[in-house]
Structure 1
Amino acid sequence: MLEEKTEAILKRKSVSLKGASILVGVSGGPDSMALLHYLWERKNSLGMELAAAHVDHMFRGDESLGDALFVKNYCEGRGIPFEMARVNVPELISLTGKNSQEAARDARYGFFREQMEKRRYTFLALAHHGDDQMETILMRLNRGTTGRGRAGIPFMRPFQNGLIIRPFLGSSREEILDYCRRKGIEYRIDPSNQKDVYSRNRFRKTLLPFLKKENPHAHEHFQRFSEEIESDEAYLEELAASRMVTVIKSRERGKVVLDILAFLGMPMPLQRRGIQLILNYLYEGKHDSLAAVHIDQVISLLNRPHPSGKLNFPGGLNVTRSYSECIIHFGRLEKMAFRIEMDHPGKAVLPTGAVVSIELALDAEQGAGPGCSYLPVSEVSFPLIIRTKENGDRMTLKGMEGTRKLKDIFIDNKVPVSERETWPVIMDSAGRIVWLPGLKKSALDSAGNPRDGYLKLLYNKKPTSGGHM
């Protein structure tokens, strides 16, 4: 019976209604009327505060207004506080371009938020049941949903200043209708629930009868599947989040940069969930068109032997691969051009956080690494200019004849495209490129007359920081 199953799921989820203040979302249909009646019968024994909230979506004119008045009369007859809102959803659809179900849902939950904030309720109780759970899981699997989304409707989740709970998730629609018959509960029927134009209705009318014929308790197995998936995914997401901190090179609003080699070193289950975390972060959880195929496309891009590639996702999101780096971002990548003149020894902090310093030195250290260059005072004069690359840039290379394009040097050293745009190029007052810090030294390095001394140039490329998704 519905009563026993509802008590069982509340106990299993460690939810106590004793002394709680509960707002019930009530449409007037059998599910929500049964839930309101169930809670009302226990109101006094559990010391609960109970209120009902109804939203008229104004789809059906006087008929939908009649639903609102029906719920209002039921509440007034039992001393249940009643709140309602009339929202012109057809007008919202024309203004926003949302489909009818999405627009109606936004209207309902917007009103529920207002009431939860205003009255500080403990719970918002909604009447989703086991059949709704079956439909949701089947629809999401059919659509290609991945990760926690496959779990369907959660029994409980945070909402505004309280929690949403769904006490009927362990019960079937037949059990709810039986409860209404036993208790003499009247209800209203929304004819739109029978229209085949909605995919949920098609699943409800075709797949569910078959599954229930095969197993009348199928809804219980779907609910157990939902709870197991939700629990497993929570654990795997936590593992993925902890590993992603080590592979994310930088993160900002609308942009995440990945270290591909470090990412591919993660187990595949964590790779999939790591990409899902990034997409959730960038989309802020607000894009329904994403599916498992998008995650597979990113992972495939990162595993290709070709060092570069690009994907275009819904909503203007781009995935750009360049050598060992992958940038997942909205819009075009902005260039961070800079030009800094140094008239004397000192330090310059670049927009990237890297530091270039210039000192005077008597001798040139032999075997200095790529982060250091000695330029002869007799050959190089101030000001030295630190800037980003420009088209056609060329430089002489130490130990080589002629000049080379900076573009070719970046390619040879597999510098990601995004880093090339901000890589410092150092030029002297004569317009010659005298050093490409960290990559190549010019023919001027350690040249000239040692008696005149040197300008010692140092480059410290500060690592960018990652962080939790």
Structure 2
Amino acid sequence: MQEVENFIKRHQLLSAAQTVVIGVSGGPDSLALLHFLWKRSSYYKIKIVAASFDHRLRGDESASELAFVKNFCDDRDIVFEGDRADVASYQAEHNLSLQTAARICRYNFFENVMKKHRAERLALAHHGDDQVETMLMRMTRGSEGFSSAGIPVKRPFATGKIIRPFLGITKDQIEHYCKVENLFPVYDSSNESDKYVRNRFRKKILPFLKQENPNVHERFQYLSETISEDETYILKLAEIELEKVLIRRTEGKIELSVSAFNKMPIPLQKRGITLILNYLYKINPSSLSSVHKENFLSLLGSEHPSGMLHFPSGLVVSRTYDRCLLSFEHIVKNEERSYDFSLELPGYVELPNGRITAEITDCEPALQRGKDVFVFSMKEVDLPLRVRTRKPGDRMAIAGVGSRKLKDIFIDAKVPQEERNVWPVVVDANGKIIWLPGLKHVRRHQIHPSELWVILRFHKKSP
């Protein structure tokens, strides 16, 4: 197993005085890893802890495997941690795939063991054949970026890092090690079922590749490391460029400039959407694929000024002119609630997108300028005023134009679709629209200097 020692050294997987938790199922791969590190614990100056988890998916078979690992550790004075959980119930409760539910439960267990023993490493027994299978499976699904790199040699996890010392060797080498060391692992019967995609790749594709190149695992591992190195660098560039195009970033929501995003080089655009989705989802749903990213890029690159996409888990991508908003449906619905407030004189109302203030004064109206300010005589408007959201069929009388639909006014002003539903509409006591803050107001009558004036101001929230 000199290849493993060289692999550990080259990737700096272990350091002296570290506590290493080893995930052990009792199968040949994990049992060989446990035995390998146990025999060399003095050489590496590490403390090892075996961690075995029963998913309770195969009845007595999986329960006996847990007992097998415990006995193996007891015979060698290896610290043992074991647990079991009803993965099927967890799957049903959280509406997950069985594989995802099993992984979450298993890794939660590993994390707890690492915290308990203050471990710096979690060693897992994925090997070179696993790497080939994983990369081929992901390529078949259309994965890209880090995902296409397959299984990482090491990555941050819990109180330290996950390491995979066996990625440089094959399944046959592990089986040979077990035979030489007189290890008698247990075998998971589910590994033989063609019902699982990985098993089909293992039994039908991998033998052909090994026939063409017996060391194909080494070439795939080299490719994996190359992709990871390239992706790390390109992602850093994408992060820098992405900050220049973001307009707003809050929990569950990101807004960006379409024109600025389209100026980024295509490779950075692709990594940019990956970074955005990672931020929004936290844990990407299994149904999210490269197709969704391609659709996103097509939406932003389209000559049509507006469009909408629906991504998994309720994520909505909405483009309106030069702005693109990514937000989850429940957030959009909460923000798009209609409102209807009475506006006292003087007084103010708080709105989802800002505040409208009202004051009474005798100052000259000519001194009040700007689309966010509307001045009128108290005699020309029927009070009280109300501030509400738009309604179907809303129209507004505009000087020199006549009556226009609010929808058309919003379109001409290029107001994003998601803002139109919360945009304030100021109406008089008769329901007549007198002001669209920031956009339009009705024509004022001839006013005499002695009259009192109402000054309305719209203080729009910054993005």
The answer, yes or no, to whether TM exceeds 0.5 is yes
Aligned to 1:257: 255
SS at match of 1:139: helix
How far did 1:8 drift?
Answer: 2.7
Distance in 2, matches of 1:234 and 1:428, equals 58
How far did 1:356 drift?
Answer: 4.4
How far did 1:125 drift?
Answer: 0.8
Distance in 2, matches of 1:374 and 1:58, equals 72
> If the length of structure 1 is used for normalisation, what is the TM-score?
0.88
Aligned to 2:281: 283
SS at match of 1:365: helix
How far did 1:97 drift?
Answer: 5.6
Q: Which runs of 5+ in 2 are unaligned?
A: none
Aligned equivalent of 1:73, options 71, 74, 93: 71
Q: Is contact 1:427-1:434 (8 Å) kept? A: yes
Give per-residue Cα distances to partners, 1:41-71, cap 9 Å, x unaligned.
Answer: 1212333211111123344444333333332
Aligned to 1:150: 148
Aligned to 1:443: 443
Aligned to 2:119: 121
* Pairing 1:409–2:409 present: yes
CA separation of 1:183 and 1:298: change in aligned 2, threshold 3 A = same
Aligned to 2:242: 244
How far did 1:455 drift?
Answer: 3.6
CA separation of 1:103 and 1:425: change in aligned 2, threshold 3 A = closer
Distance in 2, matches of 1:105 and 1:378, equals 71
How far did 1:203 drift?
Answer: 0.8
Aligned to 1:198: 196
Tell me the C-alpha RMSD between the 2 structures: 2.7
Aligned equivalent of 1:141, options 132, 139, 146: 139
Between 232-241 and 208-217, the greater mean CA deviation after superposition: 232-241
Counterpart code for 2:391: E
Q: Is contact 1:377-1:454 (8 Å) kept? A: yes
CA separation of 1:285 and 1:246: change in aligned 2, threshold 3 A = same
Aligned to 2:302: 304
How far did 1:348 drift?
Answer: 5.0
Aligned to 2:223: 225
Aligned to 1:9: 7
Q: How does 1:14-93 map to 2 (within 5 A)?
A: 14-90=12-88, 92=90
CA separation of 1:277 and 1:29: change in aligned 2, threshold 3 A = same
Counterpart code for 1:406: L
Distance in 1, matches of 2:47 and 2:448, equals 90
Q: Which runs of 5+ in 1 are unaligned?
A: 465-469
Distance in 1, matches of 2:61 and 2:386, equals 75
How far did 1:98 drift?
Answer: 4.3
Distance in 2, matches of 1:46 and 1:52, equals 17
Distance in 1, matches of 2:360 and 2:148, equals 60
Aligned equivalent of 1:108, options 95, 98, 106: 106
Q: Is contact 2:393-2:405 (8 Å) kept? A: yes
Aligned to 1:373: 374
Between 377-386 and 301-310, the greater mean CA deviation after superposition: 377-386
Q: How does 1:383-422 map to 2 (within 5 A)?
A: 383-400=384-401, 402-422=402-422
Counterpart code for 2:387: I
Distance in 2, matches of 1:392 and 1:187, equals 74
Give per-residue Cα distances to partners, 1:358-406, cap 9 Å, x unaligned.
Answer: 4635333389443333323442465443332233322221333x32221
Q: Is contact 1:340-1:385 (8 Å) kept? A: yes
Counterpart code for 1:343: E
Aligned to 1:293: 291
Counterpart code for 2:269: Q
Counterpart code for 1:189: Y
CA separation of 1:203 and 1:381: change in aligned 2, threshold 3 A = same
Aligned to 1:352: 353
Aligned length: 460
How far did 1:293 drift?
Answer: 0.7
SS at match of 1:452: coil
Give per-residue Cα distances to partners, 1:259-305, cap 9 Å, x unaligned.
Answer: 32332232222222222222223322141111111100111122223
Give per-residue Cα distances to partners, 1:94-147, cap 9 Å, x unaligned.
Answer: 665644433433332232222122222221111111111111111111111222
Counterpart code for 2:390: K
Give per-residue Cα distances to partners, 1:191-225, cap 9 Å, x unaligned.
Answer: 22121111001111122122222222221221222
Between 258-267 and 121-130, the greater mean CA deviation after superposition: 258-267
Q: How does 1:169-208 map to 2 (within 5 A)?
A: 169-208=167-206
Aligned to 1:467: none
Aligned to 1:362: 363
Q: Is contact 1:120-1:161 (8 Å) kept? A: yes
Distance in 1, matches of 2:306 and 2:58, equals 54
How far did 1:35 drift?
Answer: 0.9
SS at match of 1:7: helix
Give per-residue Cα distances to partners, 1:142-188, cap 9 Å, x unaligned.
Answer: 11122221111111122222221111112222222233333333322
SS at match of 2:317: strand
Distance in 1, matches of 2:89 and 2:420, equals 49
CA separation of 1:368 and 1:90: change in aligned 2, threshold 3 A = closer
Distance in 1, matches of 2:272 and 2:386, equals 41
Distance in 2, matches of 1:381 and 1:90, equals 66
Between 105-114 and 362-371, the greater mean CA deviation after superposition: 362-371
Distance in 1, matches of 2:122 and 2:386, equals 63
CA separation of 1:331 and 1:362: change in aligned 2, threshold 3 A = closer
